[in-house]
Amino acid sequence: MALKGNLRDFSFSQLLNLISLAKKTGTLEVHGPNKAASISFDSGKLSYAQNNKLDHGLAAILLRSEKLTDKQYQVIREKANNIGDKELGLMLINSNYVTQEEILDSLKNEFVSTANDLFTWEEGVFHFENNVKPAQDKISLLISLENIIIEGSRQLKELEQLQDEIPSLDMALKFTDNPGTNIRNVNLSVKEWRVVSFINPKNTMKQIARTTKLNDLEFRRIVYSLIQAGLVELIRPEGAEPPSPKIPTLPVEDSEEQKSLVNRLITRIRSL
Amino acid sequence: MQTVKMVVTGPFSSGKTQFIQTVSEIDVVATERKISSESERIKETTTVAMDFGRITVDDDLVLYLFGTPGQKRFDFMWEILSEGMLGFVVMVDSSRPETFREARRILETFRAYAPTPYVVTANKQDLEDAWEPDDMRIALRLSPEVKLLPCISTNKESVKNALLELLYSILERMES
């Protein structure tokens, strides 16, 4: 019988725990709002994973892990587009583009990253089909789930803290006016620079996260570090209406009567 | 009889019940229970629904002070308590920086429920390890226009000052 449900009710860490303990073999499909992922397991170990929003061919994975250059990737796309991952892997190794170890490391990082991303999904319909394996031309690995569950749970806790710090991605970012601060003198990673390059009061953080293709945790982590370093600050996006301040609820409607009522309260408090 | 209401909120053990008790003319109607969670065993009891204090202004007007439960698992009460309030006070324990993040979350939540005037109090300023209000402003990321008031909730003048500052803000909002 297939395992079906929603991550809202049965979390991804619970699912992984179940698959690991029961040493299941099969494929888990998860469909969330605007995203989907597919993860395969072999005897309770992670064997393959793909984020359905990304190109999950081997060449694209090697490009993302910076083992191939853009130019090399384009050449492969043009000349070897119809070749399966296993065959492509052998060709790349034989032509000294990459080593076998680099391919395996890149695939492992990709699979683990796809699994880690699923920990942050608050909802998503899942469906585990027993004995369904990845396509024959795909390269499978065997990665034990214990570390993924521990690391994923740790990241989930971190994400919860970051969500407290940055509750909404509908706000925009702007560089602070602190004198003496120059972002060019700060050591930033490639991902941080990608975020920094889109900082503009017109762009909401949600738009920047989408454009830079960073997951929620990665994006919030970068923004949080930039805020903590005093380099950027949160602002309302340009053009967005500020929330209208609410006049407090009072039992009288006339504005003069309202003021009189508040003045009576002031007089009384002073006299306490 | 006209009634108005103010809400006193803040993290667990920030001094909300004491704040209300200090100025209420009635014994505070508290809904306290013994604390079950070890991690929250900083004090023996905690508010589970609300505290309720009263200040009679004159024959026609009464001010009610409602204190929210501080523990996170009771935060479903917040929206109910914030309905129809005149303004709110966010209490922060100046000596427990580990609660500052929670204080910010509460502040943001209440601002979302009702964008009415509010003040933030840096409570327990009499404790040796209390943070300076200026440092707390930075830690809590409060903009300069937000009133952050030093407070000792056992001291009547201190509590009166917080309530008065909130009322001045309400008056300013009406006049703007």
Assign residue B115 the CATH number of its domain.
3.40.50.300
A:243-272 residues touching chain B, CB 8 A cutoff: 243-252, 255, 258-259, 261-266, 268-270, 272
Spatial neighbors of B149 by CB under 8 A, at least 6 apart, are: B119, B120, B121, B122, B133, B161, B162, B165
- How does the average pLDDT of chain A come out, rounded? 86
Residue in the block written with tokens 């003198």: A185
Q: Which domain, by its residues, includes B139?
A: 2-175
**Do A147 and A179 fall within a single domain?**
no
Q: Is residue A158 part of a domain?
A: no
Question: At residue A20, does pLDDT exceed 80?
Answer: yes
Q: Do A173 and A145 sit in the same domain of this protein?
A: no
Q: With cut-offs at 50, 70 and 90, classify the pLDDT of residue B63.
A: very high
pLDDT at site A266: 94
Q: How many CB pairs under 8 A join A and B?
A: 78
Instruction: Please check whether residue A37 lies inside any domain of the structure.
Output: yes
DSSP H helices in chain B: 16-23, 77-82, 100-113, 133-139, 156-175
Residues of B in contact with A241 (CB under 8 A): none
Q: Which residues contact A269 (CB under 8 A, 6 or more apart)?
A: B23, B55, B160, B163, B164, B167
Q: Sort out which chain B residues have CB atoms less than 8 A from A250's CB and list them.
A: 4, 86
Look up the pTM and report it. 0.57
Name which residue leads in pLDDT, B90 or B47: B90
Give the model's pLDDT for residue A170: 85
Q: Count of residues for chain A?
A: 272
Both A270 and A215 in a single domain? yes
Chain B residue with Cα closest to A227:
B141
Position A1 pLDDT exceeds 60:
no
Q: State the smallest CA–CA distance between residue A242 and chain B in angstroms.
A: 11
The verdict on residue A64 lying in a domain is yes
Residues A85 and A144 occupy one common structural domain: yes
At A248 the pLDDT is 64
Token pair listed for A16: 């992984």
- Report chain B residues whose CB lies below 8 A from the CB of A251: 2-4
Asked if pLDDT for residue A41 goes beyond 60, the answer is: yes
Domain boundary among A117, A152, A187: A152
Residue A160 belongs to some domain of the structure: no
The span from the CA of B132 to the CA of B121, in Å, is 12
* Same-domain status, A32 and A90: yes
Give pLDDT tens digits for A128-139: 999 999 999 999
pLDDT digits (tens, 9 = 90+) for A59-103: 999 998 889 988 888 888 888 778 899 999 999 999 888 999 999
What DSSP state is assigned to residue A242?
Answer: P
Position A241 confidence tier, pLDDT thresholds 50, 70, 90: low
Number of domains forming the structure of chain A: 2
A71 and A172 share a domain?
A: no
The reply to whether A157 touches chain B by the CB within 8 Å rule is: no
Same domain membership, residue A272 and residue A170? yes
Q: How confident is the model at residue B70 (pLDDT cuts 50, 70, 90)?
A: low
Nearest residue in B to A248, CA atom: B86
A102 and A202 within one domain: no
Q: Which residues of A touch B163 (CB under 8 A)?
A: 269
Q: Which residue of B has its CA nearest to A256?
A: B174
Handedness of CA A224, A228, A233, A236 (dihedral sign): positive
Which of A126, A152, A178 delimits the end of a domain? A152
From the list B58, B115, B164, the residue facing A246 with the nearest CB is B115
Please indicate whether, in this complex, the C-beta atoms of A269 and B170 are within 8 angstroms of each other. Answer: no
The rounded percent of chain B whose pLDDT value lies above 70 is: 82
Residue contact B173–A269, C-beta within 8 A:
no
Grade residue A163 by pLDDT with cuts at 50, 70 and 90. confident
Same domain, A7 and A119: yes
Residue ranges of E strands in B10-165: 29-34, 45-58, 61-67, 87-93, 118-123, 148-150
Which residues in chain B have Cβ-Cβ distances shorter than 8 Å to A171? none
| Structural domain of A250 | 166-272
Confirm whether A159 is domain-assigned: no
Pairwise CB contact (< 8 Å): A161 & B63? no
Is the Cβ pair A262, B174 closer than 8 Å? yes
Mean pLDDT of A199-216: 88
Q: State the smallest CA–CA distance between residue B62 and chain A in angstroms.
A: 9
Same domain, A147 and A197: no
Confidence of residue B71 (pLDDT cuts 50, 70, 90): low
Considering the domain architecture, whether residues A114 and A174 belong to the same structural domain is answered as no
Q: Does A157 fall in a domain?
A: no
Domain final residue, candidates A152, A177, A206: A152
Q: Name the minimum distance, in Å, from the CA of A178 to any CA of chain B.
A: 15
A205 domain residue, yes or no: yes
The pLDDT mean for chain B works out to: 83
Residue A29 domain-assigned (yes or no): yes
Nearest to A164 among B57, B87, B101 (CB): B101
